[in-house]
């Protein structure tokens, strides 16, 4: 059988399955590929990848017979796709199976920040409840105008959930979609101007780098920004400035530029909910992602078309 190499911090469940089904040796990160003996590298036909950085052209060139990369995750900004395509490497990802979890989390972050639920809990744990006045009044979430930046598979699930919150839905995407009642904007600044809160759901990578610029953040005014996509989509220093001055009411963030070491300025803020990239982190969804990754691997190694190809 063609040699499969697994790269990334896999769960025990996935590591066991990759070893059992594909006899795949496991490496912690893409950087470790270089350390493999040349003969072993030459044997590798498929790479089962999990991670958020480093699958570069240089790494691919260490594996001269690499034909397939199966990514554990819907986002594949860690993989240099043009380099893979140029080398004839097919790349797959794990779309759809995580839509619900990620959309649930986006809405939870919006509710948490509008109602300041994090601070309410901290206040209660600190014993403030018994001391006197009730917790400060916050802002109503239902009925707010919400902008969804990127109306792909996850963006749509978010918008569907927000419709149940009686939100007026606005969105930005390259082209207008068949979504009666939802308002399309061709420009992120115009979207931010039209709404109260903004949810980021675009893909990461070079095409969306810094899309939520200082101007977009200023246009949003006193709203909430939720990001469940990639840290690279936001101008993070502009975001931090707006949060520190209170120009922006708050942010709910699951992703950061410096993951897993976000800018320490975030930790000094009371008007944020910070999460350690847990969008898809449930037993059910991670099991489905692992299965889809391995199904792609199996299909490709059997000479079948990829189930969920990227390039």
Query: What's the closest the beta carbon of residue 55 comes to ligand 8YV, in angstroms?
Result: 13
Cis status, amide bond into 260, omega within 30 of 0? yes
Site for ligand 8YV in 96-135 (CB under 6 A): 98
Q: What are phi and psi for residue 15, nearest 5 degrees?
A: -60, -45
Does residue 73 interact with ligand 8YV by CB under 6 A? yes
Determine the Cα angle at 201 with ends 140 and 273, to 5°. Answer: 50
Tell me: does residue 69 bind ligand 8YV (CB under 6 A): no
- Asked whether 1 and 301 are in contact (CB, 8 A), the reply is yes
Q: Residue 90 carries which DSSP code?
A: E
CA 202/CA 227 separation, integer angstroms? 9
Contact call for residue 277 and ligand 8YV (CB under 6 A): yes
Q: What length is written for the chain?
A: 311
* Secondary structure of residue 222 in the 3-state scheme: coil
Catalytic residue among 230, 249, 286, 294, which?
230
* Residue 257 lies near ligand 8YV (rule: CB under 6 A): no
Residue 75, interface with ligand 8YV (CB under 6 A)? yes
- Residue 290 lies near ligand 8YV (rule: CB under 6 A): no
- 153 forms part of the interface with ligand 8YV (CB under 6 A): no
The active-site residue out of 257, 265, 277, 298 is 277
d(CA 150, CA 227): 11
Q: Which of 50, 198, 239, 292 binds ligand 8YV (CB under 6 A)?
A: 50
Closest-CA residue to 99 (of 292, 259, 233): 292
User: Is position 259 annotated as part of the catalytic site?
Assistant: yes
The distance of closest approach from Cβ of residue 277 to ligand 8YV in the complex, given in angstroms and rounded to an integer, is 5
Between 194 and 203, name the residue whose CB sits nearer to ligand 8YV: 203
Q: Which is nearer to ligand 8YV, 169 or 199 (CB)?
A: 199
Give strand ranges (E) for 175-249.
183-185, 197-200, 224-227
- C-alpha–C-alpha distance, residues 67 and 113, integer Å: 45
Residues 52/76, Cβ–Cβ less than 8 Å? no
Alpha helices in 2-77 (DSSP H): 12-22, 38-43, 57-61
Q: Does 91 bind ligand 8YV (CB under 6 A)?
A: no
- Which region among 111-119, 194-202, 276-284, 295-303 touches ligand 8YV (by CB under 6 A)? 276-284
Interaction between residue 95 and ligand 8YV (CB under 6 A): no
Minimum gap (Å) between residue 71 Cβ and ligand 8YV: 8
Active site residues per annotation: 230, 259, 277
Which residues are near ligand 8YV by CB under 6 A?
50, 72-75, 98, 277, 279-280
């Amino acid at each position: 059988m063609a040699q499969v190499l697994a790269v990334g911090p896999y769960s025990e469940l996935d590591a066991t399955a990759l070893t059992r089904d594909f006899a795949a040796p496991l490496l912690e990160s893409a950087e470790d590929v270089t350390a493999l003996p040349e003969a072993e590298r030459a044997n590798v036909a498929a790479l089962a990848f999990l991670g958020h950085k480093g699958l570069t052209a240089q790494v691919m060139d260490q594996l001269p017979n690499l034909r397939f990369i199966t990514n554990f995750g819907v986002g594949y900004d860690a993989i240099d796709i043009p380099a893979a395509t140029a080398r004839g490497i097919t790349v797959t990802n794990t779309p759809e199976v995580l839509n619900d979890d990620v959309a649930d989390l986006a809405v939870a972050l919006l509710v948490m920040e509008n109602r300041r639920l994090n601070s309410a809990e901290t206040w209660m744990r600190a014993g403030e409840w018994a001391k006197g006045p009730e917790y400060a009044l916050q802002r109503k979430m239902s009925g707010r105008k919400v902008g969804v930046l990127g109306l792909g598979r996850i963006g749509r699930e978010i918008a569907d959930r927000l419709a149940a919150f009686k939100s007026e839905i606005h969105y930005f995407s390259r082209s207008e979609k068949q979504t009666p009642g939802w308002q399309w904007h061709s420009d992120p600044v115009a979207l931010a101007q039209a709404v109260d809160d903004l949810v980021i759901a675009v893909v990461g990578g070079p095409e969306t780098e810094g899309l939520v610029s200082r101007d977009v953040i200023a246009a949003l005014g006193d709203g909430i920004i939720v990001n469940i996509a990639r840290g690279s989509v936001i101008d993070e220093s502009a975001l931090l400035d707006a949060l520190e001055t209170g120009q922006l009411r708050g942010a709910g963030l699951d992703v950061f530029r410096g993951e897993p070491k976000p800018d320490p300025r975030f930790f000094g803020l009371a008007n944020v909910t910070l999460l350690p990239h847990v969008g898809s982190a449930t037993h059910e969804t991670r099991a489905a992602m692992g299965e889809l990754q391995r199904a792609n691997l199996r299909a490709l190694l059997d000479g079948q078309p990829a189930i969920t190809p990227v390039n």
